[in-house]
Structure 1
């Protein structure tokens, strides 16, 4: 967009004289063009975006483009006045006689089709030629003048509509986000999230500065925040550039989520601290049981590797005390992340204690399984009438002594149980002879 440069008329002859009907049709067409151009110019003159541009303290791209657009609008009005004067003069010439003479028709043809409109060169004082001064005037036909006015109008309107679209979209959205920012800052202050004390407090200050700067830049230089639509030639084709606004909005949304989390901590911190104490207490009781079980295993199971059992989670207990201190002093912004970390670590501690208890008591579980298996086979052979079998009695007594003595060697005891199983299986097989009869291989 900008002021029109010097455009010379086409210079071609208007052609053969028009007849009266052609003259009347041409005047009607040019009159309609006149009315359309006048309506458009008045609408441009009253456009809200134009009034805002005239009253704003512009900077940057918008300042330069508005200066060019103002010159274009001035040129446009000059062209319109010349067009109006030429059209009025042609109408007056046609109105002299009902039946225009040939001389009148020749003159009307020249005025309506030829380069008969003289317009002062709007850039004559701003330009110079290597060979001499710039031309002070230009010659146009009425049709050329209409085309030139349409072009200047489209470019001027594009500037006005674009600036108005940015001003209509961004400042209002920035104001709404700023109001939300103030509410968030108030909430943040109430829970101790302040600049210099918490990263989110510093971020809120940064967003405040960004929105203030962004609004001032949008007001003074709206054209810097416009993205033209690719391939669009329509005035105002495109959309406002909201990237900086969107970044601030996302950052504020993230911080609001953090503040909401802190507010929830303020509401349910006591209950969460109670749950944490309970989880750590269960972990301590489980570790105590594991230590007790380890002593029992070492006393009752021989030749077995028993893992060591760690002590209580004193570090977690100390940090839990710190969390309680934060709560007493209403330091919610510090309590929130500490509680989340403690909850994860406390669950891990309870799981570790349970795994330790399981690992320590594994030999006792193996011994209990062997005892159960031995008694189950004894009951089975008794049902089949082999309760008094000497070999079975001997092997059962040997396995039982090993399993019920302390310390118990699990490897030797397991071998004794297997010998009893084999003897029982052989006895049951002899009871039911036959090539296709079932054979008990020691399963139960």
Structure 2
């Protein structure tokens, strides 16, 4: 047996092994991508006519075809390596030449979903029909028709590229939604943890439940038919998650601020008590020193402070107890209602203090005005004028005798002022 024949076999065997290794790497990469990108067959079965199902089915067909080619080539190479390592006997060399250099492999179907020319169509396989691996022959092997082992590689590179292109389309369709889903799922986990910190379950927040439903729906759509997912769906999911975040943030704020807000409520109650006391003092002073009656004066409703059911103090004490026992949410909501009533009560108390003090303030103003007018009369030397003095004495008696008729006192002071103007005009020198 000539050494050149064995050398030629070795060259072919080395070339086929290198090509097989290259194909193996491509297949492993494709399998890894497919596992990450392709929807489960059961998922695409629910939408058989969709673009996702079409591209996923095409990618699977191409992968199956490539694995079939690789498996067949591996079997040939295993047989060839076994023969080659058995020693350079003439019979083994002839078997190797027959295996590697002749049409020794049953004819295989062409690459799926491919143009025959792009897959190596027209390769002469020696069967006389001009057809080859890419010639669009029958789907299965044809009995009695074989091809050379090297022709198993024809069309594999193009099919690897086509399968990657299919996966690219599916991955691009999924990528935007997957980013939204990943961010949403992280956010939901954080929100659940935040609720656990404040003693609430995730089911207690309607916005969070709605966000979970939206995330689940988007995940199902991406899993089954990512190419049918519209841009509006991830956007809606992101909006739902934002609403959930706002709701949970508000609950956390209420929980964390409640102790300070309860202390502020105690201070507000003390302010109301002080304002109400000022209103009561003003009422007592006006009744005893000015009007003699509380008609027209303001006061807070009976029991506003200590009534067991509606008094502000017992109500606030109940809220304190709820917060201390962990029922902080009801305490927070109750405090909002309490604060509304308390703010109204403070406004009423302040208004009552102002209104009730008005008669006393008016009496003081009239007394001051009468003193100023009398001082002016003294300076002008007319204080003893009979008509002035009579009005002055009557006004003074009215203002310094309880109860005070403020309307009458006002009229007398104004009358005194008018008469004083007349007297002081007479005293002006002529020009």
Q: Give me the TM-score of the superposition, normalised by structure 1.
A: 0.60
Q: Which of residues 351, 365, 375 in structure 1 aligns to 2:347?
A: 351
Q: In the superposition, relative to structure 1, how do residues 159 and 153 fare at CA in structure 2: closer, same or farther (>3 Å)?
A: same
Q: Distance in 2 between matches of 1:86 and 1:214?
A: 43
What is residue 295 of structure 1 aligned with on the other side? 287
Q: Does 1:174 align with 2:181?
A: no
- Mapping of 1:31-430 within 5 angstroms? 46=30, 50-54=34-38, 56=40, 57-59=42-44, 60-61=46-47, 64-70=50-56, 79-85=114-120, 156=166, 159-166=169-176, 168-189=178-199, 193-194=200-201, 199-200=204-205, 203-205=207-209, 207-208=211-212, 210-227=214-231, 241-265=234-258, 267-268=259-260, 271-296=263-288, 300-301=290-291, 305-310=295-300, 311-313=302-304, 314=307, 315=310, 316-430=312-426
Matched pairs, number: 325
Shift of 1:301: 2.8
Q: In the superposition, relative to structure 1, how do residues 386 and 422 fare at CA in structure 2: closer, same or farther (>3 Å)?
A: same
Q: Distance in 2 between matches of 1:188 and 1:207?
A: 20
Shift of 1:375: 0.7
SS in 2 for 1:307: coil
Q: In the superposition, relative to structure 1, how do residues 50 and 416 fare at CA in structure 2: closer, same or farther (>3 Å)?
A: same
Residues 109-149 of structure 1: CA deviation (Å, up to 9, x unaligned):
xxxxxxxx975799xxxxxxxxxxxxxxxxxxxxxxxxxx9
Shift of 1:377: 0.7
SS in 2 for 1:250: helix
Q: Distance in 1 between matches of 2:111 and 2:382?
A: 123
Q: Distance in 1 between matches of 2:209 and 2:113?
A: 52
| Larger deviation, residues 61-70 vs 403-412 | 61-70
Q: Distance in 1 between matches of 2:56 and 2:266?
A: 72
SS in 2 for 1:407: coil
Q: In the superposition, relative to structure 1, how do residues 288 and 66 fare at CA in structure 2: closer, same or farther (>3 Å)?
A: same
SS in 1 for 2:50: helix
Q: Distance in 2 between matches of 1:240 and 1:307?
A: 64
Q: Distance in 1 between matches of 2:122 and 2:324?
A: 88
Shift of 1:243: 1.1
Assess if the C-alpha contact under 8 Å between 1:287 and 1:312 holds in 2: no
Q: Distance in 2 between matches of 1:212 and 1:317?
A: 48
Q: Distance in 2 between matches of 1:381 and 1:307?
A: 36
Residues 351-374 of structure 1: CA deviation (Å, up to 9, x unaligned):
201211222232222222211111
Shift of 1:379: 0.9
Q: In the superposition, relative to structure 1, how do residues 172 and 121 fare at CA in structure 2: closer, same or farther (>3 Å)?
A: farther
Q: In the superposition, relative to structure 1, how do residues 249 and 223 fare at CA in structure 2: closer, same or farther (>3 Å)?
A: farther
Residues 14-69 of structure 1: CA deviation (Å, up to 9, x unaligned):
xxxxxxxxxxxxxxxxxxxxxxxxxxxx89x9497655344635244588323322
Shift of 1:281: 2.2
Shift of 1:169: 1.6
Assess if the C-alpha contact under 8 Å between 2:184 and 2:241 holds in 1: no
SS in 2 for 1:306: coil
SS in 1 for 2:117: helix
Higher relative contact order (CA 8 A, sep 6+): 1
Unaligned runs of 5+ residues in structure 1 are 1-41, 90-116, 123-148, 228-238, 436-444
Q: CA RMSD in A?
A: 4.2
Q: In the superposition, relative to structure 1, how do residues 326 and 396 fare at CA in structure 2: closer, same or farther (>3 Å)?
A: same
Q: In the superposition, relative to structure 1, how do residues 212 and 240 fare at CA in structure 2: closer, same or farther (>3 Å)?
A: closer
Assess if the C-alpha contact under 8 Å between 1:167 and 1:219 holds in 2: no
What is residue 92 of structure 1 aligned with on the other side? none
Assess if the C-alpha contact under 8 Å between 2:287 and 2:294 holds in 1: no
Unaligned runs of 5+ residues in structure 2 are 1-25, 63-109, 125-133, 140-158
Q: Distance in 2 between matches of 1:67 and 1:205?
A: 31
Assess if the C-alpha contact under 8 Å between 1:323 and 1:335 holds in 2: yes
Shift of 1:305: 4.9
Q: Distance in 2 between matches of 1:71 and 1:353?
A: 79
Assess if the C-alpha contact under 8 Å between 1:279 and 1:350 holds in 2: yes
Residues 285-311 of structure 1: CA deviation (Å, up to 9, x unaligned):
2343244245326xx337995235333
